[in-house]
């Protein structure tokens, strides 16, 4: 029996895929088809698959051409599979001509003619897109636009900044078609808004955009009061709009996998979470200006609050803050939370430096995420018996904003999309900021 193997993503399954599988099948008696996992596609830079791995496996199965289907989940698996299954022929489309010649050492390599005029990328581009208008053209916006180019269905259609000169420079640099003179003009040229203005303007812009019927992705920190957060969510719910907070950590592959592993009790009961985010900042920076709501808490607390609330729930009993102040703002704050059956703490600092790692302590072991944990592609699960330790890598490509943009667009285009940061988590983050601003349990060092 002559065994043939081929691999693919098979996203938005189309005639080109079918033809390839048919041609591969005709090369032998038994066809094995390897379907890539979502994570493997992420690792090799395929960001935008529309179908998940199960849907793509079903599409291949429905052709009736595959005698066996395997999932492809790591680089180098092709060699393992060829040897494991005793494959005679590796077949793939001619767009890969030469790329897999190294497999000739293990079996015959055949490049089959690619079907012209159709591709998953082309089909993805024919799908609906989301026109995003940007409010605020500061540094994060300069990172957001290039990242959005990696998300098929996201188009940056307009930008607004009260400083028209800055806005023109920004739109010129990124060839953004509409340089909005005011918010009405911005809203007329988009159906979703990314708010990247200074955090003390977020509430007003989010409310304005929602009332204008626009989906909203708001930079962190979202808002500084529970009441404001509740009001904004209520407007979004009434108008059936997506309201998301752009806390990029929540959307990254490593953080998502870490959350799933902890929920599967890989370290038993989680008893303590500790995370630090310190970035020494020039004293003249607006981030340390009390007139602009500056300070370590307002700038960085949203990051450690995410894992604390994600891993322990948002229903903490109490919180105490210990702050070192300078020029009216906290240059360092340590916060300690009491939960029913756990504790948590974080350290944030713009004027004090410490190790930027995260640890999650459990009854069976612990997780260590090295600095900068908030944009990590790597973490370790460690046990008493170090032979059981495990290391996990998940890609974090470039600025990592593409993951949140992809989620934002998916939430807009698909019904009932699961939000990575829940409403209660966002409400509680606003509550913590409000407690701090109101000096509740705040002790100055
Ligand atoms: N294909 C084709 N004609 C098209 C489109 C795709 O013959 N118009 C072939 C590709 O050459 C490939 C298979 O269909 O052999 C699956 O294509 P994709 O789903 O795009 O998978 P790809 O990214 O090519 O991954 O490990 C995975 C392999 O590297 C293939």
Segment 339-390, tens digit of pLDDT = 999 999 999 999 999 999 999 999 999 999 999 999 989 999 999 999 999 9
Best probe residue, ligand 1, of 31, 92, 97 (max atoms within 8 Å of C-beta) = 92
Residue 293 beta carbon below 6 angstroms from any ligand 1 atom? no
The rounded Å distance from CA 72 to ligand 1 centre is 13
The pTM of the full predicted model, rounded to 2 decimals, is 0.83
Instruction: Report the nearest atom of ligand 1 relative to the CA of 19.
Output: 7
The helix (H) or strand (E) run that includes residue 91 is strand 89-93
Residue nearest to atom 10 of ligand 1 (CA): 93
Ranges 19-28, 32-41, 85-94, 306-315: which has the least confidence: 32-41
CB 370 within 8 A of CB 376: yes
Task: Enter the DSSP assignment of 47.
Answer: -
Q: Higher confidence at residue 410 or residue 370?
A: 370
Ranges 40-44, 285-289, 308-312: which has the least confidence: 40-44
Work out the average pLDDT over 410-435.
Answer: 91
Give ranges for CATH 3.30.360.10 in the chain.
249-444
Give ranges for CATH 3.40.50.620 in the chain.
3-118
The rounded Å distance from CA 34 to ligand 1 centre is 11
CATH class of this structure's domain 249-444: alpha beta
Predicted confidence at residue 189, as pLDDT, reads 98
- Give the pair of three-digit tokens for residue 240: 């059936």
What band does 134 get if pLDDT is binned at 50, 70 and 90? very high
What band does 44 get if pLDDT is binned at 50, 70 and 90? confident
Work out the average pLDDT over 161-173.
Answer: 97
Predicted confidence at residue 192, as pLDDT, reads 98
Predicted confidence at residue 394, as pLDDT, reads 86
The rounded Å distance from CA 6 to ligand 1 centre is 9
Which residues, at least 6 apart from 298, have a Cβ–Cβ distance to it below 8 Å?
199, 221, 224, 433
Best probe residue, ligand 1, of 66, 79, 95 (max atoms within 8 Å of C-beta) = 95
What band does 400 get if pLDDT is binned at 50, 70 and 90? confident
The rounded Å distance from CA 56 to ligand 1 centre is 13
CATH topology assigned to domain 128-246: Rossmann fold (3.40.50)
Give ranges for CATH 3.40.50.720 in the chain.
128-246
- Give the pair of three-digit tokens for residue 287: 């981030």
Predicted confidence at residue 430, as pLDDT, reads 97
Residue 196 beta carbon below 6 angstroms from any ligand 1 atom? no
CB 184 within 8 A of CB 445: no
Work out the average pLDDT over 254-271.
Answer: 95
- Give the pair of three-digit tokens for residue 252: 């990254």
Predicted confidence at residue 411, as pLDDT, reads 92
Predicted confidence at residue 150, as pLDDT, reads 87
The rounded Å distance from CA 94 to ligand 1 centre is 9
Residue 8 beta carbon below 6 angstroms from any ligand 1 atom? yes
Predicted confidence at residue 292, as pLDDT, reads 85
Residue 95 beta carbon below 6 angstroms from any ligand 1 atom? yes
Is the predicted pLDDT of residue 425 greater than 90, yes or no?
yes
Best probe residue, ligand 1, of 5, 18, 20 (max atoms within 8 Å of C-beta) = 20
What band does 89 get if pLDDT is binned at 50, 70 and 90? very high
The rounded Å distance from CA 96 to ligand 1 centre is 8
Is the predicted pLDDT of residue 156 greater than 80, yes or no?
yes
Whether CATH 3.40.50.620 fits 3-118: yes
What band does 297 get if pLDDT is binned at 50, 70 and 90? very high
Cα–Cα distance for residue pair 118/95, rounded to 1 Å: 13
Predicted confidence at residue 167, as pLDDT, reads 97
Residue 14 beta carbon below 6 angstroms from any ligand 1 atom? no
Is the predicted pLDDT of residue 47 greater than 80, yes or no?
no
Residue 326 beta carbon below 6 angstroms from any ligand 1 atom? no
Predicted confidence at residue 296, as pLDDT, reads 97
Work out the average pLDDT over 131-149.
Answer: 95
Helix 15-25 × helix 53-63 angle, to 10°: 60
Work out the average pLDDT over 136-156.
Answer: 93
Work out the average pLDDT over 273-292.
Answer: 93
Residue nearest to atom 22 of ligand 1 (CA): 8
Phi-psi region of 10 (alpha: psi -120 to 50; beta: other; left: phi over 0): left
Positive or negative torsion for Cα 204, 347, 333, 317: positive
Instruction: Report the nearest atom of ligand 1 relative to the CA of 118.
Output: 8
442-444 and 270-278 as β-strands: parallel, antiparallel, unpaired? unpaired
Residue 72 beta carbon below 6 angstroms from any ligand 1 atom? yes
Predicted confidence at residue 417, as pLDDT, reads 76
Best probe residue, ligand 1, of 5, 9, 40 (max atoms within 8 Å of C-beta) = 9
Average pLDDT, the chain: 94
- Give the pair of three-digit tokens for residue 12: 């938005």
Work out the average pLDDT over 170-193.
Answer: 97
Is the predicted pLDDT of residue 416 greater than 90, yes or no?
no
């Amino acid at each position: 029996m002559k065994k043939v193997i081929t691999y693919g993503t098979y996203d938005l399954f189309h005639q080109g895929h079918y033809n390839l599988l048919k041609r591969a099948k005709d090369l032998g008696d038994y066809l094995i088809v390897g379907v890539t996992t979502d994570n493997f596609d992420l690792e090799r830079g395929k960001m935008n698959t529309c179908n998940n791995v199960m849907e793509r496996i079903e599409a291949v199965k429905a052709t009736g051409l595959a005698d066996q289907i395997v999932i492809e989940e790591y680089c180098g698996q092709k060699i393992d599979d060829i040897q494991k299954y005793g494959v005679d022929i590796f077949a793939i489309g001619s767009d890969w001509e030469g790329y897999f010649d190294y497999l000739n050492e293990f079996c015959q390599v055949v490049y089959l003619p690619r079907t012209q005029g159709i591709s998953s990328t082309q089909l993805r581009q024919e799908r609906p897109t989301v026109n995003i208008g940007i409010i605020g053209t500061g540094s994060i916006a300069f990172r957001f636009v290039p990242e959005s180019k990696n998300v098929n269905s996201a188009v940056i259609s307009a930008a607004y900044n009260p400083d028209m000169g800055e806005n023109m420079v920004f739109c010129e640099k990124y060839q953004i078609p509409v340089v909005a003179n005011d918010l009405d003009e911005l809203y007329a040229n988009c159906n979703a808004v990314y708010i990247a203005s200074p955090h003390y303007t977020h509430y007003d812009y989010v409310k304005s955009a929602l009332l204008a019927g626009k989906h909203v992705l708001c930079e962190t920190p979202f808002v500084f009061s529970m009441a404001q957060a509740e009001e904004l969510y209520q407007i979004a719910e009434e108008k059936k709009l997506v309201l998301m907070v752009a806390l990029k950590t929540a959307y990254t592959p490593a953080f998502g996998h870490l959350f799933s592993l902890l929920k599967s009790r890989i370290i038993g009961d989680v008893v303590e979470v500790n995370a630090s985010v310190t970035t020494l900042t020039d004293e003249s920076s607006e981030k340390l200006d009390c007139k602009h709501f500056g300070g370590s808490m307002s700038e960085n607390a949203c990051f450690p609050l995410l894992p604390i609330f994600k891993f322990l729930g948002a229903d903490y009993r109490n919180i105490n803050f210990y702050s070192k102040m300078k020029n009216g703002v906290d240059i360092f704050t340590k916060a300690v939370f009491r939960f029913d059956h756990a504790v948590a703490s974080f350290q944030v600092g713009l004027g004090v430096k410490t190790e930027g790692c995260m640890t999650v302590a459990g009854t069976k072991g612990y997780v260590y995420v090295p600095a900068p944990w908030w944009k990590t592609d790597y973490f370790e699960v460690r046990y008493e018996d170090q032979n059981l330790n495990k290391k996990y890598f998940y890609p974090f490509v470039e600025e990592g904003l593409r993951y949140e943009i992809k989620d934002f667009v998916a939430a807009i285009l698909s019904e009932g999309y699961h939000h990575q940061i829940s409403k209660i988590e966002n409400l509680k983050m606003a509550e913590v900021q409000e407690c701090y601003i109101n000096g509740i349990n705040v002790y100055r060092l």
